[in-house]
């Protein structure tokens, strides 16, 4: 009886913690969505769709490079911190090891990106814009979101991310008044990320009593080795989730980039409403999967997926219902936006299930290599179709490529899960 009582208390506290984390992340996503829906139409109407496309191109490159500096720690770092959260010395060691690796990668990337800006014509024509975007890359690299997620203290992620949005919004509204202010628009975003980066590191030290330490070489090399699979998975994942806009920037016009970016941002804003639940569940499922047999873990995951379907289809239906409203709200008269918007809507359903089955599922089951295979295949499909379709069909071609890639990944991760479930333990 006593043991059962303890079990029930722990179970209830776990549910409460997940709910608190879910609430914090939902607040964050709602805040981000509202602020994004203020910034985007303002920039489109102030800069014009073509300059907005150029601005989005520069922003997208920086955010894509963040995937490289993250080196998969957004997943492996969360898992390591979650498992060792009660050991302050170990947590401090993991924190400093990961931050040092990320900073070294950042410095290498800044050199390579600088050379690219100077010698690639598409970038050198607007080199000031791309150099200013460095602030986004630097700020986002040093923000240890993985640390707060692993400690299951999502409220700090909410504070940090809303700080970025609010500061950037205020600066944009104050300084960006005409198309020629495009550099000020990207500089405003860069300042917001840099400020949040410094703030987040301060919070990590102040609230969690981290001990300054210089990690051992063996620990650093072990982290690099153990995270390489998730790094390549993240990179390939990003090749079909975030690379299309960059591809368009090189293959098509700034106007097409602007149309795709506007449609994609609305889709991602809607998609992000499902993210708090997934992010809150991830560290909790890491713990549960370690206590269950593999086939039991997969069964639990498949059961959980049923609760995703109805809300996801509801979000897609609402988006299609309010399509005309978005066109008027953004001030985009080009009919191409409507076509791209409709094509992209299935990404909400497919992307959410890919996160659930791929990251919460395969990664937590230590099947990173299977997830890597799925995302690499999706990346190959996306890049091939993007290259074939974007030059002639612009933003619509890129949207079609993304949807087919997401569907390909979903089929593969489901296949791997059932293969694991049917295997004898």
Chain segment 32-81, per-residue pLDDT in tens = 667 777 888 899 999 999 999 999 999 999 988 998 999 888 878 888 88
Crossing angle between the packed helical segments 182-208 and 134-142, to the nearest 10 degrees: 10
Residue 6 in any domain: the answer is no
Global confidence as pTM: 0.79
Domain that holds residue 338: 13-421
More confident residue, 153 or 97: 97
pLDDT at 346: 94
Which pLDDT band holds residue 11 (cuts at 50, 70, 90)?
very low
Chain segment 100-109, per-residue pLDDT in tens = 999 999 999 9
Residue 1 in any domain: the answer is no
Number of domains comprising the chain? 1
Chain segment 307-359, per-residue pLDDT in tens = 778 888 888 998 899 888 888 888 776 668 899 999 999 999 998 888 888 88
Which of 15-29, 225-239, 391-405 has the lowest average pLDDT? 15-29
Residue 3 in any domain: the answer is no
pLDDT at 3: 36
Residue 387 in any domain: the answer is yes
* CA distances from residue 247 to 84, 129, 214, 233, 337 in whole angstroms, order as listed: 40, 18, 40, 19, 18
Q: Is the confidence at residue 300, as pLDDT, over 90? A: no
Rounded (5°) CA angle 371-148-56: 65
Residue 7 in any domain: the answer is no
Spatial distance between the Cα atoms of 289 and 79, rounded to a whole number of angstroms: 12
Which of 296-300, 309-313, 373-377 has the lowest average pLDDT? 296-300
Long-range CB pairs of 159-163, under 8 A, 24+ apart, other chains included: 159/199, 159/203, 160/196, 160/199, 160/200, 160/203, 161/28, 161/31, 161/32, 161/196, 162/28, 162/31, 162/32, 162/35, 163/192, 163/195, 163/196, 163/199
Query: CB–CB of 52/261 below 8 Å?
Result: yes
Residue 78 in any domain: the answer is yes
**What is the H or E stretch that residue 391 is in?**
helix 368-421
Nearest to 120 by CA among 167, 174, 47, 61: 61
């Amino acid at each position: 009886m006593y043991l059962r009582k303890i079990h029930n208390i722990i179970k209830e506290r776990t549910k409460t913690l997940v709910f608190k984390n879910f609430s914090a992340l939902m607040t964050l996503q709602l805040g981000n969505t509202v602020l994004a829906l203020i910034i985007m139409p303002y920039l489109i109407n102030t800069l014009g769709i073509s300059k907005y496309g150029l601005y989005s191109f520069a922003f997208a490159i920086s955010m894509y490079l963040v995937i490289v500096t993250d080196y998969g720690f957004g997943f492996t770092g969360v898992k390591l911190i979650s498992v060792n959260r009660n050991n302050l010395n170990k947590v401090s060691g993991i924190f400093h090891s990961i931050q040092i690796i990320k900073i070294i990668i950042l410095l290498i990337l800044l050199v390579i990106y600088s050379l690219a800006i100077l010698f690639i014509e598409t970038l050198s024509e607007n080199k000031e814009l791309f150099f200013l975007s460095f602030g986004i890359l630097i700020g986002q690299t040093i923000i240890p979101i993985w640390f707060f997620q692993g400690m299951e203290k999502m409220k700090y992620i909410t504070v940090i991310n809303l700080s970025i949005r609010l500061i950037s919004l205020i600066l944009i509204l104050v300084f960006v008044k005409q198309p020629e202010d495009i550099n000020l628009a990207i500089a405003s975003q860069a300042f917001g990320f840099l400020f949040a980066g410094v703030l987040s590191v301060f919070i990590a030290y102040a609230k969690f009593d981290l001990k300054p330490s210089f990690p051992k070489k063996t620990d650093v090399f072990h982290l690099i080795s153990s995270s390489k699979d998730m790094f390549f998975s993240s990179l390939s994942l990003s090749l079909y989730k975030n690379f299309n806009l960059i591809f368009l920037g090189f293959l098509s016009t700034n106007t097409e980039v602007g149309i795709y970016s506007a449609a994609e941002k609305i889709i991602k804003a809607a998609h992000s409403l499902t993210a708090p639940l997934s992010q809150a569940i991830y560290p909790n499922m890491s713990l549960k999967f370690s206590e269950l047999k593999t086939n039991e873990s997969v069964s639990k995951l498949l059961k959980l997926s049923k609760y995703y379907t109805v809300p996801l289809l509801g979000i897609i239906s609402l988006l299609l219902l309010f399509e005309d409203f978005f066109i008027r709200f953004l001030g985009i008269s080009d009919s191409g936006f409507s076509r791209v918007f409709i094509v992209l809507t299935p990404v909400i359903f497919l992307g959410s299930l890919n996160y659930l089955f791929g990251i919460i599922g395969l990664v937590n089951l230590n099947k990173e290599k299977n997830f890597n295979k799925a995302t690499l295949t999706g990346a190959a499909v996306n890049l091939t179709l993007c290259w074939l379709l974007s030059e002639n069909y612009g933003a619509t071609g890129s949207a079609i490529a993304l949807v087919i890639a997401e569907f390909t990944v979903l089929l593969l991760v489901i296949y791997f899960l059932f293969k694991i479930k049917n295997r004898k333990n």
